[in-house]
Structure 1
């Protein structure tokens, strides 16, 4: 989602002019036109007065030496080697010596949760910071240190040395409803203690870079510099931490996202006590189902998380989960999609044994899985021709062949799998997205050991139902639904 932007790292150098324009409303509306339902709008004055002193402006200095060293190394030649003569003209006028990098500055927001100086903000606000300065509403400037930070939830916990500081109240984000009024206070573009309001637009949004966060979507105006600031309900309780916006312009376009405070409370407690966050791990590679895939698995509608692969010796493997299973329930909670499952697993206690409900070959199966700790290395787990030794499957429009020993070793596969050598243009295989080089591992949950076996299974399968084909591409396994011509 290339238009999804974090909104904490506002760079002061990028703001040269702030301009505003207005149209005269009297030209468009009669002067006597009444303001409808004005008394029904929320009164925010007291809420803002009560809470703005606990909202802080965060400025950070980012040490760019590491980045500069990486660039220098990229363009350096090994010892004893000289630049080739034919390239000298391109570098003739470049300055000699290593350029001295300058530290850059960025801004964000945060809020105080304890009188002795604990502050919540976004991880991306303070990541790579060499110095962090917190400015209070009374203009005091305090140096902050990082107690802990968590990139997967985008939460960081800071501490300043002070006492008697104003604080916010942390509320309950589980009680939020779509349409509910909410208020944000922060420092958009460095403009301290700016307040904006709107409504909750949606709940439990899963974003590409928010695997472990069920985001609150709002239409509250949030801009660069707002990140890490609080989102309040009308009772003055913090219900979220403003984090990202969807934008094609770099500024607010009506869609913003906040991290639910119930998740934030769990994260900050772990950061405060241990400095790190421990998450549950299942050990599966999963994907969403579309209607065509759902049809291939004889499901009435797309629902659950389709298991593309199971990591050996993982909790899922020990529990008996298999590729092709569809996880529809976890710990007595219905799993709506592949985006939903990591949120449930990540917040499950390490060592907990919980029920897991899967659909396998159209039948419901109940398993028990013992959750283990997620390690950084596991964090990414979440996806008619007959020539030259190939065998064609005319119904699909592709040619496949046995894997060579080298290909099988590179693909890290057992005995199953055939490699796609050619795909006919505008064929069922092409329309499904198959490409030359893909490895077909199974069809309808039956392992494929040879091109002849693939052809036999395809020929015997019902023509009115898509094939559920498990493929591997670039070390990633996923199911695709392949129709018939």
Structure 2
């Protein structure tokens, strides 16, 4: 831990993952429970002015696109139980200011009543039968989701599925003949192209703003910084169209009104618009919702490599110092190791190789690798171009899932711990004795939006009993819940020693 590399390596290594995200200091933000959307923001040293627009021809294009888009963009209201919402807000407040000066208690007292939403965001109707795409952070923690159309008609939505790794969620309302947007091919967008952002910022419904695509393939580290995504995929479209809290989950469209991205984050020192917004590309978003609809879960392919981003001079220097190597900064991903059942290793890639291309997609940094592999499924084959001793080589690698499989899976194929969204480690016997516990396991890798997380359990909480039976290992939990389909009762201890009993229906 004393070396510079060890301090930096957690931001650099892509451990058996589909891609990686660039290092960034970003935070999760929700200004007002009545009009916030739990938007993300990053700190920026300087403001950026909004691009000017005075072309009559472009203005006509904006009118056409706005008329197409506005009816298909909805408001999403997130209702949470008092305990869940209070805990969530407390965590966010402490993340900004620290648990000091009694501020956390003051923030708790501002909690909205049960009949008021804890947060609001946007969504986009993507089919006439009521499928709606949004952000995962817009729907996170909800026990009820209300969708309000641009014509003010309201529905209670079903949450079909979520993916914290891309910050995408899929909802469904029961209606037919709805206006909807078509997905465009986000690979075809160009920097400098005009775009519109449509959403419901700051409680202002059906708001349209315009700007240009200011960058592509942007990795800003927001998903990894929150610790909610196990294998985050970031390759954002960056735009200067004005986006504020409430825009999250809304549409980024081209001048034809076709969907090219889902607005997700802003860069700001205040939590409000200061120049840059970021959207999940439509190709990645479409793949996620297709997986959720078809399989019930997201199918994620992995190349199975750990890497160093050669475009990051600081990381390269740290790696050279720690490993006593002399690799040079540049572009591409320098392979430092492999995971178990690595498709890349089986394809002949070795440590020290530099990955420069996946299929026809040039790989210059983490975000490029994240995008190129993140849209693939287990079993997909990719052509990997790499440098070895300065010579370019090409090989074909078969992507695998995290268990080494090459086939897709459905919810029925998931293990108990995958279905409930957590893993469990045995509790040390000394700990049990010291704290008077007769049983217990430590919750780990708790998945945001999973059943365990929904009842208030986070990493390192102690689960004592499941369905009234003591548990001392993960196998105990699996045995109790294997082939079980009813209501699950969980008794657990939080970080302050308080004991709770809460439940959920086994998915």
TM-score range, shorter chain: 0.5 to 0.7
Q: Distance in 1 between matches of 2:339 and 2:132?
A: 38
Change over 3 Å in CA distance of 1:173–1:352 after alignment to 2: closer
Q: Which moved more, 1:35-44 or 1:134-143?
A: 35-44
Measured after TM superposition, the shift of residue 297 of structure 1 is 5.4
Answer yes or no: is 1:179 the counterpart of 2:185.
Answer: no
The change in CA–CA distance for 1:13 and 1:192 in structure 2 (over 3 A counts) is closer
Query: Is the 2:235–2:370 Cα contact (8 Å) retained in structure 1?
Result: no
In the TM superposition, residue 6 of structure 1 has moved relative to its aligned partner by 5.9
Q: Partners of 2:181 and 2:31 in 1: how far apart?
A: 23
Q: Can you give the 5+ residue segments of structure 1 that lack an aligned partner in the other structure?
A: 16-34, 73-93, 95-99, 377-485
Aligned to 1:360: 388
Shift of 1:170: 2.4
Matched, 1:342 2:370: yes
Per-residue deviation at 1:351? 1.5
CA contact (8 A) 1:10 1:225 kept: no
Do structure 1's residue 241 and structure 2's residue 262 form an aligned pair?
yes
Matched, 1:320 2:337: no
The answer to whether 1:212 aligns with 2:233 is yes
1:49 is matched with 67
Task: State which of 98, 119, 123 in structure 2 corresponds to 1:110.
Answer: 123
Could you say what the CA RMSD is over the residues aligned between the two structures, in angstroms? 3.4
Partner of 1:421: none
| Alignment match, 1:440 | none
Q: Distance in 2 between matches of 1:108 and 1:204?
A: 24
Against the structure 1 CA distance between its residues 327 and 10, is the aligned structure 2 distance closer, same or farther, given a 3 Å change threshold? Answer: farther
Larger Rg: 1
For 2:298, the equivalent position in structure 1 comes to 277
Task: Name the counterpart of 2:202.
Answer: 189
1:131 to 119, 128, 144: 144
Select between 314-323 and 234-243 the one with higher mean Cα deviation: 314-323
- 1:144 pairs, out of 143, 157, 163, with 157
1:138 Cα deviation from its structure 2 partner = 1.8
Find the counterpart in structure 2 of residue 330 from structure 1: 358
**In structure 1, what is the equivalent of residue 497 of structure 2?**
none
Number of the residue aligned with 2:99: none
C-alpha displacement at 1:325, in angstroms?
Answer: 2.1
Q: 1:65 aligns with which of 73, 77, 83?
A: 83
Structure 1 contact 205–217 (Cα < 8 Å) conserved: yes
**8 Å Cα contact 1:5/1:247 also seen in 2:** no
Per-residue deviation, 1:154: 1.1
TM-score by length of 2: 0.59
Equivalent residue for 1:122?
A: 135
TM-superposition CA deviations, 1:362-402 (whole Å, max 9, x none)? 444444322101469xxxxxxxxxxxxxxxxxxxxxxxxxx
The unaligned stretches of length 5 or more in structure 2 are 1-22, 38-51, 91-104, 106-110, 224-231, 405-507
Provide the C-alpha distance between the structure 1 equivalents of 2:151 and 2:88, rounded to a whole number of angstroms: 41
Partner of 2:458: none
Residue by residue over 1:212-261, the C-alpha shift from the partner in whole angstroms, topping out at 9 and shown as x without a partner, is 23211000110000001111111121111111101111100110011111
Q: Does 1:12 align with 2:34?
A: yes
Alignment match, 2:288: 267
- Counterpart in 2 of 1:373? 401
Secondary structure of the 2:118 match is strand
CA change 1:223–1:319 in 2 (3 A) is same
Is the contact between residue 9 and residue 124 of structure 1 (CA under 8 Å) also seen in structure 2? Answer: no
Structure 1 residue 307, shift from structure 2 partner: 1.5
**CA spacing shift, 1:307–1:202, aligned 2, 3 Å:** same
Could you say if the C-alpha distance between residues 366 and 138 of structure 1 is closer, same or farther in structure 2, counting changes exceeding 3 Å? Answer: closer
Q: Determine helix, strand or coil for the equivalent of 1:184.
A: strand
Q: Distance in 2 between matches of 1:284 and 1:4?
A: 25
TM-score after normalising by structure 1: 0.61
Q: Establish whether residue 163 from structure 1 lines up as the match of residue 176 from structure 2.
A: yes
Q: Does the CA contact (< 8 Å) of 1:9 and 1:106 recur in 2?
A: no
CA distance in 2, matches of 1:189, 1:37: 26
Q: Which of the pair is proportionally richer in strand?
A: 1
Q: Distance in 1 between matches of 2:53 and 2:63?
A: 20
Q: Answer whether contact 1:8 1:228 (CA < 8 A) is retained.
A: no
Offset of 1:172 from its aligned partner? 2.3
Checking the alignment, whether the CA contact within 8 Å between 2:36 and 2:246 is kept in structure 1 is no
Give me the whole-angstrom Cα distance separating, in 2, the residues matched to 1:51 and 1:342.
29
Q: Which has the higher contact order (CA 8 A, sep 6+)?
A: 2
CA distance in structure 1 between the aligned counterparts of 2:88 and 2:235, rounded to whole angstroms: 35
Alpha-carbon distance change, 106 to 70 in structure 1, aligned in 2, over 3 angstroms? closer
Return closer, same or farther for 1:354/1:50 CA change in 2, 3 Å cut-off.
closer
User: Given that residues 9 and 125 in structure 1 are in contact (C-alpha distance below 8 angstroms), is that contact kept between their aligned partners in structure 2?
Assistant: no
Q: Does the aligned pair in 1 maintain the 2:234–2:367 contact within 8 Å? A: no
* CA 1:9–1:118: 2 relative to 1, 3 Å: farther
Residues 1:271 and 1:10: Cα distance change in structure 2 (over 3 Å): farther
Tell me if structure 1 keeps the 8 A contact 2:24–2:222. no
Give, in angstroms, the shift of residue 316 of structure 1. 2.6
Structure 1 CA distance for aligned equivalents of residues 70 and 36 of structure 2: 26
Contact preservation (8 Å) 1:6, 1:124: no
Count residues in correspondence: 331
1:10/1:107 contact within 8 Å kept: no
Residue by residue over 1:428-474, the C-alpha shift from the partner in whole angstroms, topping out at 9 and shown as x without a partner, is xxxxxxxxxxxxxxxxxxxxxxxxxxxxxxxxxxxxxxxxxxxxxxx
Aligned partner (choices 200, 203, 211) of residue 216 of structure 2: 203
